[in-house]
Amino acid sequence: MCRLMGYVSPSKTSFPALVGDEFSDFVALSSVHCDGWGLSTVDQNGSNIVLKRKVEAAAQSATFDSIVADNLADGALLHLRWATEGLPISENNTHPFIYGDYSFIHNGSIFPSDVIAPFIDPKFNPLIVGDTDSERYFYLVMTEVEKLGLVAGVKSALAIIKEHGDSTSLNCMLMNRDFFITVSEHNTARKPDWAPDDYYEIKYLPTPEGTLFASSGWNQPGWKTLGNHHAALVNRSTFEIEVIAI
């Protein structure tokens, strides 16, 4: 299980600047979600995606604070990993995953971990370098997005997983230079025994400075909840938010 955070903004900023004082509360979640952290920045008009990944707890990292503060962008994803039991703790298994101008992070587990492999376009197989169901989930999404378009592709990938496998949560964030989509799709009954009922909830906060989405478990005053079985699509040109049933 993992923690997710993402933003899009009209101007270049960072997670600490946009979230404010409560950002330290989110980082503190890495005391449990301690198996790695990763950051990707996806500038709307930029030529590259900046990706940083470390196999360490964010709160104990010597470089986390400076990296997340110094890599300014108008869009970014941040992931705190808590590895699924049995999967190695390694950089290749640390989120985000990227392809082209797409960046992706996931919270949850898919069982069996290889159940979706037959539905991934074979052209992506050489790009899969880790052991996680999350990376395969990403390339399944890419397979369907290339066939059907962004929203229809995400819906199709979710349908394939639900038809052929089992999951605790398919919560994810997918960003490219044009759109930011956040999926809230989870089974509350499959949360960790110690976790509160809202463990899998995704919340969001639209502000003039930018729109934030994040996992729960920390201080989020004024944030809205993205309902389960829904996705939120943000147009990065207009910053309009469309909530879609999935």
The CATH number covering residue 107 comes to 3.60.20.10
Cβ partners under 8 Å of residue 195, min gap 6: none
H-run or E-run covering 133? helix 133-148
Contact assessment for residue 140 and residue 132, using Cβ atoms and an 8 Å cutoff: no
Contact assessment for residue 160 and residue 115, using Cβ atoms and an 8 Å cutoff: no
Query: Range of 151's domain?
Result: 2-245
150-164 vs 133-148: helix axis angle to the nearest 10? Answer: 130
pLDDT for the residue numbered 91: 85
**What is the count of structural domains for the chain?**
1
pLDDT for the residue numbered 86: 72
| CA–CA–CA angle 62, 66, 68 (5° rounding) | 110
Hey, what's the torsion of the CAs at 135, 140, 141, 147, to 10 degrees? 150
Check the CA dihedral 190-194-198-203 and report its sign: negative
pLDDT tens per residue, range 1-16? 799 999 999 999 999 9
Q: What is the pLDDT along the chain (246 residues), one digit of tens a residue?
A: 799 999 999 999 999 999 999 999 999 999 999 889 999 999 998 767 889 999 999 999 999 999 999 999 999 999 999 877 777 788 889 999 999 999 999 999 999 988 999 999 999 999 999 999 999 999 999 999 999 999 999 999 999 999 999 999 999 999 999 999 999 999 999 988 888 999 999 999 999 999 999 999 999 999 999 999 999 999 999 999 999 999
pLDDT for the residue numbered 47: 67
pLDDT for the residue numbered 194: 85
